[in-house]
Amino acid sequence: MQSAMQSAQARHDARLPPDVSDEDPAELEWAESNAERLMDGNDVEWGYRKADKGRATADEFASAVQMYLVDRQKDGEDQKDAFARLVIANATWGSRFDGRENALYLLGSRANLKNIAIDLLRPHAKRAVALDRQWQQESEECGF
């Protein structure tokens, strides 16, 4: 079982983007603060000029969470059929059912949800921070 888990973790780790630069804490701060926005269902945009604009969408985040959950399902991490229970309960009972327990069980922890969001934003952090710094510098030069 342990080797299967290690293999699954290695497959998961291999598809993650490179780490945010350790040399620039602003990049990590940008990724972490904007991860919260994705978790709240909002898109994250950066850049001020048309050519510089970038975007990570809530739909892309949902797809990344879905892939993570499917991988955990395939790897046998759902020992109590929480995914099925979550769907059935919400389809049947709606708001009377608190699916938080099953959702957190499927994720492994709430921290994993934020980590997925951060991982989605990491490839963009360096550029977004650089564009923000450029914008701030230009604004100061213009007297704004």
Pairing mode, if any, of strands 54-56 and 44-46?
A: antiparallel
pLDDT at 1 over 50: no
Share of the chain above pLDDT 70, in %: 80
Task: Evaluate if residue 132 carries a pLDDT over 60.
Answer: yes
Write down the mean pLDDT value for the chain: 84
Residue pLDDT, tens place only, 71-94: 999 999 889 888 888 888 877 876
Helix (H) or strand (E) holding 92: helix 82-92
Q: What are the tens digits of pLDDT across the range 14-61? A: 554 445 555 689 999 999 999 999 999 999 999 988 888 999 999 999
On whether the CB atoms of residues 66 and 60 are closer than 8 A, the answer is no
Q: Give domain limits for the chain.
A: 23-142
